[in-house]
Amino acid sequence: MRLSSYVSWLAAPSLAIAVVQKPKVVVSTFANLPGAVFYFEDSPIILLFDPKAGDVWRSVNDGQEWEQVMEVKGNAYDIIVHPFDNEKAILFTNGNQHWATNDKGQNWNIFEVEFPVSFRQSPMVFNANNTNYALYSGRCCDPGDTFGHSCVDKTYYTKDWFQSGVKFLLANTHGCLFANGNNVSNQRRVSSIFCIVDGNDKYPEHRKILTSDDFFGNSFEPKLDGYNTMKGLVGLASVTNFLIAAVRSAGTDDMALYISNDATNWDSAQFPHDHGGLKEDAYTILQSTSYSIQVDVLTTSPMGSAIGELFSSNSNGTYFNRNLANTNRLPRGVVDFERIQSIDGIIIANIVGNADLVRLNHKTTKKLQSKISFHDGKMDTWHDLRAGNMTLHLHSVTELVNGGRVYSSRSPGLVMGVGNTGDFLQDYTDGDLYISDNAGLTWARARKGAHKYEVGGSGSIIVAVYDEGIANHISYSKDYGKHWEDVDLNVDIHARLLTTTPDSTSLRFLLVGSGKNKKSHIFNLDFENVFEGRKCKLNTDDENKSDYEKWYARYDNDGSPSCLMGRKQYFWRRKMNADCYAGELFKEPSIVNETCKCQDEDFECDFNFVRDLDKKCVLAYGVTLPVPPSECNNPSDTYWGPSGYRKIPGNFCQEGVKKDRPIKRQCEYAISTPSTGKIVSKFSGFNSKMPVEYYYLENTESSSTEEETIIMMTENQKLFVSHDGGQEWKQILKNVKVIGIYPHPQQQHNVYFITNTKRIHYTTDRCHHFYEMDTPQSPNRKGLPFLDFHPRKNNWLIWHGEKNCIDPLRCHSNAYYTISGGKEWHSLKSYTGLCQWARGHLETISDKLIFCEHEAQQGDSNQITTELLSSSNFFIDEVKHFDRIIGFVTMQEFIIVAGVKDDNSLKAFASVDGSSFADANFPYGFNVPHQTAYTVLDSVTHSVFLHVTVNDRRGFEYGSLLKSNSNGTNYVLSLDAVNRNREGFVDFEKMQSLEGVAIANRVVNWKDAAKGEKKKLRTMITHNDGGLWKYINPPAIDSKGNRYQCSEDLKKCSLNLHHYTERGDPRHTFSSSSAVGLMIAVGNVGDVLKGLADGDTFLTTDGGFHWKEIRKGQYLWEYGDQGSILVIVDRTRPTDKVHYTLDEGKSWQEYQFGEKIKVTDISTVPADNSRQFLLWGHKEGEGEKFYTVYLDFKGITSLQCVLNEKKVGDNEKDDFYLWSPAEEENGHCLFGHETQYHRKIANHRCYIGRKLNRIYKTLKNCTCTAEDFECDFNFERASDGTCKLVTGLTPPDHEAVCDDKNVIEYFKSTGYRRLPATTCQGGTELDKVRSIPCPGKESQWKERHRIRGGFRLIMVIVVPFIAAVGIGYWISKRPLTSRFGAIRLGEEGDDGPLIRYLITIISAAIAMAIAIHSILSLLGSWVAREFTRTQRYRSRNFLFRSEDYSILDNDQGQLLGNDDSDEV
C-alpha cells in the first residue's frame, strides 16, 4: 500500500501538548468533517472517511498520526468494517473497482465487479463462521433510465475474501443473508444462504424467498408456514440466534413474521389477539438477546407523530407479549430503546406521556418520559428514573448526538445521559449531564449543561465536552463524575464526535470538532499520564487491600445483593477513589453469576394473558384457549392448560416458585370444543326492503386478524357491520348520511364511506374505529367513481368532485389527488371525466402516471366525447393522446382506449407502456363500419379478450369475441356471435382456479336475431384460452337416474348454462379461485338454452370436462373451506333448508334453519375458505323487512386436514391427493403443461382451514399440439378447421421480434400463432417452418442451424416423406374433427369465409334515450331528491369482476367505463 506523507495540504502538522499528570492532546486539522470513523476491534487502528473529498485516512495510534490511503484517493464512496473479523474491511468506490483488506488496512487488494454497489439493499453481507465468505450486491440500470424501472440488483459471492474476485450468485435480489449471519448462530451450515428475489414480475407482493447450501447451484423455496411457499417477502434479518422473514401479502399492509432457530423449520410469530398488527415500514426489530426478540410496532398513522408499542418474544421467537405501551419512535423506525451493556435485563426507554392527545391530533407536540426496567422490560416492571427525589428524563436514540451507544459502555454499572428532572423531557440544550454508577438505579447530576461523553479504561476515566455551542476545553473525571478537571484544547470548536475503542478499555479518546474556518479538528486525548502508569491491583481475599470492589448489578432496599433475571451478577470493579487505571487494554471486565431460586418476579403473563387489578395474570377478554389432542370429549370436562404465567425468557432461576405449571381448566371455555356434527344458524332482521350493498373484507396470509368482517348498507341508508361472518350485527355511523362505500382494493382493512358533502368517514381497522377527512369538493354527480386508488401507493388517491352544479349548464367535474392519505389534497385537472392511476403489470411506467378524460370544450354541456390526456407529474406537464374518445380501460397488462372516428363509430387502441398507443387491428372480414360498443373482458394471460358489439338492437345484442396478441394490437376471432345484454355485460367467464378455461354463450340464430327473432343460446367451453371452443358434454343421466333424451352429436345436443347476463348478481361466478376444478351452474341439456324456470343445477369437478346434475330446479350456490363444503339453496320459492355436500357432490345432506324465507343471495368470504355462510332474503308478507341467516358449519368437524408434501397420496395421515385436469383423449396436458394440484380426498371428514397454495408443481411442459395455436392475423379458420390466408391479404411480418436483442431468428407466418400463455415445447409447432436470421445475427443463426453431411440430406428429404405418409394414414383412419382446429361455427349454412355482420343505425332520439338511461344508472349512490340511486347487491366477487371486465359504449352511457366500477 502507498501511504502519503502526513504533512499535506489536507492535514496540518500535529501539535503536541504535554503537561505533567495532564492528558496529552494531539490535534490534526483536515479540510472536511469526516463522514465516518471506524475502529478495528481490539486495536488502536482507525479509518477515517471524508465523503466530500472521497478520501480515506488511517491511523495506527488512536488518531495521533494519520496517513492517507492513496489507492482510493478522491474515489472513496463508503467504508464497511467486517463485523466478525477485526482484520477485514471494504473500501467502496462509485464504480466497478473496490478495495479489500485483511490486515487492518495496512494493505489493500483491488477487486473488480460487474456493477457498482446497490443502494436498495446492503451492498455487503458477512458470514460469522467463515469470515472469508461474503456477498456483494450491485445494481445494473439501463442508460437514461430516469425512474430506475429497468434497474436490477445482482448478488455475487466470494469464498476467499475477494482474493479471486467475485462469482455470480443471483439476479433480481432484494436482500440476502447467510444463515450464520451473526456470531450467535454458529450451528448452521456455513454456506447456507437466504435471498429475497423477484417473482414473476418486479412487484413487491410477488417477491419470494430462496435458500441454498451450495451458492445457488441448487435452491428451493422454504415453506415458512409449513404448508405454502410465500409471496410478498419484504425483509430478512439475522437477530442473535433467530432468522426472521417478513411477509406482506397483496391486499393488506399487515405484516407476518416467520421465525426460525435452525434455518430449516419456520414458525409464524403470534402477537396478542387485540394487537393491531404489524405494518410494512412500521416495526423495528430492536437489540435482542439469544433468548428473546424485541420488536417495537408503530401504533399511529405513519403520516403523523410516531408512537409505538414494545413486544418481546418467548425463547423460540414465536409468541410475543406486550411489554411497554406508547414508546417514542421516529417515522423511519428509530426507537428510544437501549439495553444497558454488559448487564442482563436492564433497559431504558422513552415513552410518550401524552399519547392519547397525540393520537387525536398528530400536530400535538409529544411529551416524553424516561422509564427503566431491571427485569428485561416485562410488563409492570418499568419505573421512573430517579435523581434524588426528582424524576429524571433522558434524551435517547431518536436525538442521537454522538456515536455508539447513548447511555452505556462496557464499563460495569456506569450509565450516563443528558436530560432534565421534572414531568417531561425538555429540549436538549436545556439538559444537564447525569451519571449513574449503579446501572441506572439512582442518578446524580455530574455537569451543568448538555455534554458529549465517553468512558475509558474500563471505567477509570470519564471524558465530557460541552455540546450546546462552542467549546475550548474538555473535562474528565477519575471518580465516576464526582470531581472534574479541565484540559484546554487551545482552539474553539463545535464538538461533533467523542469516542474511544469499542470495548472502552483504552485510555485514549478521539474528539472530532469543527472550527470557525469550517475545517475539521481531530484530537487524540491520551490519559495514560494522569495515573502515572499505576495499574489497579485485585485482591479477592481482602477487598480492603484491593483497588477493586465486588460490585453486584443490583441491591435491595436493605442493601443486600438482589437477584436479576434469576441470578446475582457481579463484577470486580475499580473503586471510585482508586488512583489507578483498571483492567487490561482490549480485555473486557469479566462477569460472575450466582443462580437464584425462582420468585414471583421471575414470571410474566403468558401469551394472551393480561394483569388484572390485583396484578394477577388472567385470560384476555375475547380469547379462548387451544385444547390438546384427545382432550375435552365433553364441554363439562377439564384439561391441563396454561397457568397464565411464563418464566421470563432468558431467566436463569431454578427451583423455588413454579408459577408456570399447567393448571386444570374447563373445556367449555376452550377454543375448539368437540365437534357436535351439527350446523348452527341464526336469524337477523333489518327494517328495510333490501340491502343496497354489502362487502366482505378479505383476509390475507399476513393479516393480523381472522375475523370475517361484513359491511352492509340498507336501502334506508343505515350501515351495519359484523365481525363474525354475520352472526352478530352492529349499526355504525348512525348519524352519517352515506351514499357510497369504497373498500380499499390494496388495503383490506381500509374502507371509505362517502357522504353527499365534502366529508369522508373512513376506517383503517375493519370498522372498529372511524376517522374523518375533508375533500376539496362535494362528490360528483356524473357517474364517475368518487375515489380511485393507486395500485401500489396505498395513500395515493384521486377524488372526483364537482363544481357549479347548482346550474346544470355549468356543472362539471374536477379531479384532485392526495399522496398523504387525504391529509392534503391538490388540484389535478378541471373539467375532467374519469381520471385513473395507471395500474396492472405495466412495470416500466412511472408511479405518478395518470390518465384523464378531459372536456376539450370546457363548459360545453353538449359535447359527447372527451380527449385523453396523461401526465407523470400531476399535470404540471401533460400529453394528449387522443382528441375524441368515449372511454378507456386500464387492465393488468394493457391500456385499451375506445376512440371515436369521424363517422362517430369506434376505433380501439392499445398500449403496453402507457406512452405509445397502437391501432387495434381486427381480423379481415370483420368490417363493422359503425362499431358501437366494446367490452374488455380479460387480460391476465398476456393477451386481451375483447367483445365487439356487432348487433346493438335493444334486446337482441350480440358481438364477436376477439383475442389479441401479446401487445394487444393484432386481434383474431376467437368466437363469433357471443351473447351480451343491453348493459354491455357479456356471457363470458374464465374459470378462476384453472388457467385457460372459459365458458361463453353463443347466439346460434344470430342472423334472425339481428332481424328481431328471439335469441337462441348455446354454451361453449374452451380449455386453451379461446383457441378452440366446443360444446359441453352433457351428462348421461339426471339427478333422478333417468337418461337424457340426447343424441351423441354435440352439435345437436349439449349442456347449456345460464350465464353472466342473467344473474341477479353478475358477480356470482361459476367457479371459485380456491376450489380447484369445481364449477356449479344452472342450465339444461338440449339443442338450445331454455328459460331459467326450466333449468336444473349442475356440477363439474374436473374443470368442465364432465358435468352431472346435482339437483332438479334452480339453486344458488356457494363454496366454503376451499371447496370442501358446497352449499346450495332453492332460489325459486320460500324455503327453510339448504343442501350441502362434504365430498364434492357424491352425496348431499339437508339442513333446516327454521322459518322459511325467499332466498335472494348466499355469500361467504371472497377467498371461499370459511365455514360460515350467510343467506339473504325475505319472509312472505314482510316486504318492508329483510333477513340474514347465519350458517356455521364449524361444528361438523374439529379435525384439520393433514397435508404431507413429501409423501402426498402415500401416507395414511395425508388428507390430500395430487390431481391434474385432463380429458382422457388428451392426457394431462392443459395449456401446454402438466400441472398437479393439491385436492382434498373427498371422503375424508376434515376441514382445510388455512389457505393452501393448491399448485403442487408443474411436472413438465408438454409437446405442442394444435390446441396450443390459434390463427395468425389475416388468417381465418377454413371449413376443415385449418387456418387459411384470406384472399387478397398478405401474411403479417414477424420481424418485429428482433427488437429483442436476445432473439437471433424469426419465422415466416405459417397461418398459426402460438397462444401467448402456452408453455409447450417441440412437437407440432405449427407456427415454425422457415427460420430467418434477424438483421445482424446471421453468424449466430448459422451456428445454431449448422447440420453436416448426409444427415442433413436425411433430415431434409427422408423425414418429411415419412411424416407425410404417417399423417396421411392417420387422417385416413381418423376423420378431421374439431380437435384439429376450432369447430366450425356456421351451423346455419353460411359457408362464407366469415359471418356477415348486420349494423343497426340508431336514431338520435333512441340514442338520447339510451344515454339518459345509462347516465342515470351510474349517478352514484345518491338518495336525496336530486340524486338517483341504483339499487344492487354486493357479493364476494365484486372486486374480482371489476378488475377484468369493462365496457366502452359510444351511447354515452359508460356502462362500466373503468375496472374499479361496480355498478351492475
DSSP state of 674: P
Which residues, including other chains, have CB under 8 Å from residue 1396's CB and lie 6 or more apart? 1390
Question: What is the rounded distance in angstroms from the CA atom of residue 1117 to the CA atom of residue 1163?
Answer: 9
- Tell how strand 654-656 and strand 597-598 pair up: parallel
- Beta bridge partner(s), residue 464: 453, 475
Distance CA 1254, CA 1219 (A): 10
pLDDT tens track for 1023-1069: 888 878 999 999 999 999 999 988 778 888 999 999 999 987 766 88
774, β-bridge pairs: 759
**957 has pLDDT over 50:** yes
What are the phi and psi torsion angles at 7 (to 5°)? -80, 115
- Amino acid occupying residue 731: Q
One-character DSSP codes across 1159-1179: EEEEE--TTS--SEEEEEEE-
pLDDT tops 80 at residue 1374: no
DSSP-derived letter for residue 545 is: G
Q: Judge contact between 1059 and 1085, C-beta under 8 A.
A: no
Question: Phi and psi dihedrals of 1267, rounded to 5?
Answer: -70, -10
Q: Residues 744, 752: contact at Cβ < 8 Å?
A: yes
Cβ atoms 625, 641 nearer than 8 A = yes
pLDDT, mean of residues 162-191: 87
Query: CA-CA distance, 854 to 1287, in Å (whole number)?
Result: 42
Name 1438's Cβ contacts closer than 8 Å, sequence gap at least 6: 695, 1067, 1462
pLDDT of residue 1073: 86
Distant-in-sequence, close-in-space partners of 994: CB < 8 Å, separation ≥ 6: 1076, 1077, 1103, 1221, 1230
HSE-up of residue 1423 (Cα within 13 Å, Cβ side): 15
What is the spatial order of strands in the sheet that 1125-1130 belongs to?
680-686, 1186-1192, 1172-1178, 1149-1163, 1135-1141, 1125-1130, 1115-1120
Maximum distance among all alpha carbons in the chain? 118
Higher pLDDT, 775 or 253: 775
Percentage above 70 pLDDT, the chain: 83
Question: Binning pLDDT at 50, 70 and 90, where does residue 1402 land?
Answer: very low
- Taking 80 as the threshold, does the pLDDT of residue 923 lie above it? no
Average pLDDT, the chain: 81
Q: What is the pLDDT of residue 302?
A: 64
> Do 1075 and 1242 meet the contact criterion of CB atoms below 8 Å apart?
no
In whole angstroms, how large is the CA radius of gyration of the chain?
Answer: 37
Residues in the chain: 1464
Can you spell out the DSSP letters for 129-152?
S-TT-EEEEEEE--TT-SS-TT-E
Q: Any idea which of 16-20, 228-232, 758-762, 1088-1092 has the lowest mean pLDDT?
A: 16-20
Better pLDDT: 1154 or 807: 1154
CB atoms near residue 458 (< 10 Å): 28
- The residue that leads in pLDDT, 1063 or 763, is 763
Contacts 24+ apart (CB under 8 A), 84-93: 84/126, 84/127, 84/128, 84/131, 84/182, 84/183, 85/131, 86/40, 86/41, 86/42, 86/43, 87/40, 88/131, 88/161, 89/38, 89/40, 89/47, 90/124, 91/56, 92/117, 92/123
Closest by CA position to 310, among listed 327, 334, 288, 328: 327
User: 344-358, 1179-1193, 1239-1253: which has the minimum mean pLDDT?
Assistant: 1239-1253
Nearest-angstrom CA–CA distance, 833 and 825: 18
Q: Indicate the range of 852-856, 973-977, 1204-1208, 1326-1330 predicted with least confidence.
A: 1204-1208
Query: Which long-range contacts (C-beta less than 8 Å, at least 24 apart) are formed by 30-34?
Result: 30/57, 30/519, 30/520, 30/521, 30/522, 31/519, 31/520, 32/519, 32/520, 33/496, 33/512, 33/514, 33/520, 34/512, 34/520, 34/522
Q: What are phi and psi of 206, to 5 degrees?
A: -110, 0
Q: In whole angstroms, give the CA distance from residue 540 to residue 646.
A: 38
Pairing of strands 567-574, 592-595: antiparallel
Reported as a pLDDT band with limits 50, 70 and 90, residue 844 is: low
H helix intervals, 51-203 = none
Q: Taking residues 786-811, what's their average pLDDT?
A: 89
Which one, of 1376, 1304, 1378, 1377, lies nearest residue 1341 by Cα? 1304
Q: Can you tell me the mean pLDDT for 58-66?
A: 95
By the 10 Å C-beta count (0-12 exposed, 13-18 middle, 19+ buried), 193 is classed as: buried
| pLDDT for the residue numbered 1440 | 30
Residues 30, 493: Cα–Cα separation, whole Å: 13
- Provide CB contacts within 8 A for 1126, sequence distance 6+: 1078, 1080, 1099, 1117, 1118, 1119, 1120, 1140, 1141, 1144, 1145
Please count the other Cβ atoms lying within 10 Å of the Cβ belonging to residue 633. 9
Q: Torsion angle, CA of 182/188/189/192, rounded to 10 degrees?
A: -60
Separation of alpha carbons 575 and 582, rounded Å: 9
pLDDT digits (tens, 9 = 90+) for 893-908: 678 888 888 877 778 8
Q: Looking at residue 1395, what is its pLDDT?
A: 27
CA separation for the pair 440, 500 (Å, rounded): 22
- Rounded Cα distance, 1368 and 1345, in Å: 29
Closest CA to 1088 of 1393, 878, 1388: 1388
**pLDDT at residue number 1447:** 45
Least confident of 353-357, 368-372, 377-381, 1357-1361: 1357-1361
Q: Which residue has the higher pLDDT, 1053 or 668?
A: 1053
Binning pLDDT at 50, 70 and 90, where does residue 1346 land?
low
Contact 444, 480 (CB under 8 A): no
Decide: 1168 and 1122 in contact? Cβ < 8 Å.
Answer: yes
Q: Looking at residue 419, what is its pLDDT?
A: 96
Q: Are 852 and 870 in contact (CB under 8 A)?
A: yes
Residue 503 Cα distances to 65, 405, 476, 934, angstroms: 22, 12, 19, 73
Sign for the CA dihedral angle at 488, 490, 493, 498 comes to negative
- 309: nearest Cα among 704, 868, 880, 23: 704
Query: For residues 1196 and 1150, is the Cβ–Cβ distance under 8 A?
Result: no
- Residue 518 exposed, middle or buried by CB count within 10 Å (0-12, 13-18, 19+): exposed
Q: Going by C-beta distance under 8 Å and a sequence separation of 6 or more, which residues neighbour residue 633? A: 674
pLDDT at 1323 over 90: no
DSSP-derived pairing of the beta strands 89-93 and 97-101: antiparallel
